[in-house]
Structure 1
């Protein structure tokens, strides 16, 4: 809990800091990478840096955490911190790196805000930072411990045992531990990080959802090729498409992620768009393998049938569940029937069961529209869960 003295100062200065936080975080990353180029080269996603998404996400997290400390001091921002902690352990973040971040973040605050940063203001925001950092460090230590590894040591060598074309732009890679051990367990909906060494010598890391249920022997990830020029966006996915085949070795993290299928008998809504189908396929695979009789409404939107990864498997899994129904939308005209519609996903056209637990994954506009419709239909916010591929700009925008 923030001290009373710091609470008053943070509340008074939050508008000024909030207004400048984007400039602060941009300067922070620039200065930190100048002094520690290894972080940009080997740890941070340079595609997100180039697009400006990572500074926006950091700004949103810091501002959101500070706002909650002063406005709701008895409430912990559990969802936000858990999401960050899972991402950090999948990257191999360790406690010492928080001190590096602290040094450059506070230097940027002083430079941007100038004389407004009195010693009292600096002390108050220092308290905010270390409260947030302390909670994250504790969460991450617990995740590392639960995974049975030392901090930063979550990487494993995985052999590609199969490469399968899932749509015109998506391939799946089936992975097994290179040392012959069983594949580590995971919860349906989780992801792994994949680290690759690119031709320019950089080590870049990206996260991919596990697109099959846990079976104890192997994992599967599905990777979409990105189009759009020579920007860093998609460089790892495209490298995997162009260079990896059966028999190759990949460096992969243990599974992490807080979007996980809850046990129980409540109805489920699994709503996805584009490559956001991957965690939903993993959940459905698990439900089918365990003989689930839960009511499951599956919704998916895509550009066209040819772009829909795992389309046939999706139909097969839904058919294997006695209380499941499938609704699909394609932007480009497809043969319409009771299951397939043309256009964007529109939940207003389908029935939402009472007491449903919803899982969303896909582009941010899709998730915003889907969540808004669920809230309008009376689904409680705490029953709506989501996964964002990349920095969580949803949190950064205050949703």
Structure 2
């Protein structure tokens, strides 16, 4: 009976955490190039995401953002940055709310509005203070700007708590699905928080954090802090999907690489993994370039990203069991290939190519004073075709 109860609770919490996210706000003090980073590993019931460009208006900055494909009117943005170098993302919190208001889940609406209005972290603080009293949110909002600002704001309908990265001795802050200012031992994601801490800390000490490390390693890591082991290296064919950073519900991972005071705002980049991160490949997004949102990350004629659709298809092969509780089991052999060629090792080499070529192009843009005059469209098309060809050649061994 005790064993049955434990199994029931295990899967009960698996369902609860299907709307989880893991994130970090990282100071340039601990990054390889001295620029700040804003990371969000998104978990949601929406498998299909796209990147959307929002044009400037008389009362709004231009910005790009991660959007649910099913949100056809693009009413909510779940991570993004604007033309002023301000970036924002969130994780849901489950230990802050102390009211019974019916208005909930408005975090994406709030962030879309903030991207249009805010230039700095200070602006965002004022924006929150002046926002309608019933905000409809319970979240940890992470923000960076182009003036050295980097912080989390833990926000409910009635309270705002600010945590600045400059006050962190580690040089970064992490949030999952509980708030530091919230009710003790409530909320979700305590193990994921420790997973992220384990993965970020030793690299931060060496001032070596990069988008490459975060998307290539952290968002694909199956390290489990409570068990003290990386479950992708145990040699087990099947592993239960519980308390890892990448989860069955993971739909994207984005890292906004900001700039420092006085640097060219055009160099802000949103490195984007669409779909289930272990089965995806990163692409750069540049707001300042007219062709800076790759077609692979945009909606096609069917209303979704064809590339994201392809990644989701791979995810369904990694989680192939449908009956009973089978959906909670990961085919780790298919992902990492202990006895065959796994999906992740094949995609990592492709991702390294994308980063390498993108960095070369960005250095050229920096020397040029921006992307104006450079053939961004040709570059994006070349990278996209390389990715599509690699996915066509992907070797998948299903036992």
Give TM-score scaled by structure 1 length: 0.28
**Which structure has more helix as a fraction of its residues?**
1
TM-score by length of 2: 0.28
